[in-house]
Amino acid sequence: MSKDNTLVTRAARLSVAPMMDWTDRHCRFLHRLLSRETLLYTEMVTSPALVRGRAFHLLAHSPEEHPVALQLGGSDPVELAEAARIGAEAGYDEINLNVGCPSDRVQSGTFGAVLMRQPDLVAECCAAMQAVVDVPVTVKCRIGVDDQEPREVLPSFLETVSGAGVTRFSIHARKAWLKGLSPKENRDIPPLDYPLVYEMKQNFPHLHLSLNGGVGSLKEALGHLEMGLDGVMIGRAAYHQPWDILGAADRLVFGVEAPCSDPLDSVEAMLPYVEEHLSEGGKLGQISKHMLGLFAGQPGARLWRRVLSEGAHKEGAGVALIKEALDVVRGAREGALEAQK
C-alpha cells in the first residue's frame, strides 16, 4: 500500500457499524460532531449498484466525515475490484467487504453471510480489491452460519482470508441463521460468543480484530478492549444513544479532548449543515431522524423526540423547528435543576 493507513487503523479501536437505512451521510456527519476519532461506516453498497447501475450518488459524503469506510456487498472478484476502485477514488479511507448480512436479498445475490461458506472466494475477492486500491481492505463477518461449528469455521475463515493479505476483521459474535430467522431476529436470537472472539485474538495475534454484536455501552466496549481486542464496533446503541456512546469516546477510548462537552453544542454545530441541506432541496426529516436519540436518558428527551417527530415532515419545516426543540430541552433541564434544589 502506498497510502499511510495509520489514521484509519487507529480509528478502528472504536467504530460505528454499517447499518442499512441508518448510517447514511447525514447520520455520519452528526456522529463526527460527537467524536473526531471514531471510525464511521457507510450503509452497505452493492458492487452491482456501483459498477452496473452507476449509482455514484450512494458514495456522496462530506469531507468532515473522515476517517470513513465504505462497506461493499458482492461476490464477484472483478466487479468488487472495480467497485473498490470507484470507492477509493471517491475518497473513502477503507473498503470493507460484507460477509455478515443475512437478508434474503443478499443471499440471492450470493453475498453477505452466505459467504462464510466460501472463504476461498472471499480471499479471492479481497485480493482483487487490494490489487487496485491503496487503502485497507477489511472484512466484517459472522462466527458462522446455520449448522456450521464456529470453533472450526471461524479460525479456518480467518486463516484463509488473511492469507490473501487482509489484516483487519470485524467479527459479529453471533451465528447467522439463513433460513428461519429474519435479519432483525439474526441480530438478537443467535447467542453471543464473545469468548470465541477473544480466543481468535490469542490465536491470530498479528491480526487486528474488532468485536461486534450486542455491545450496548461505552463501558462494555472498554471492557472488551481491556480483554485484549484491538477494536469494538457498536451498532444500534451508537445510533439510539449517540451522545452516551460517542460523546465520551474520544476521551475514554482515544485519550484526546472531545469536540463537544454537551449534546446541545452538537445540535448548534449541526444547524449550518441542516440549512445547507434544505437550501439544496432536501427535507428536514432526512437529517432530524438521526438526531432523535441525542438526549436519551436526559431531561427533555421525550419532548425533544416529539417536537422533531411531529414537526419535521410538515411543509416548510426547517432550522426553526430544531431551535424550538432545543428550547424545550433547555426548559426541561432548568426544571430538573429547580426540582433538585
Q: Which residues are known to be catalytic? A: 101
Residue of 256, 267, 198, 193 whose CA lies nearest to 226:
198
Q: Please state, in angstroms and rounded to a whole number, the distance separating the CA atoms of residues 188 and 190.
A: 6
Q: Which residues of 251-278 are buried (b: 16+ CB within 10 A; e: fewer)?
A: eebbeeebbbeebeebbeebeebbeebb
Give 16's strand partners: 40, 234
* Contact status, residue 126 vs residue 167, Cβ threshold 8 Å: no
**Amino acid at position 118, single letter:** Q
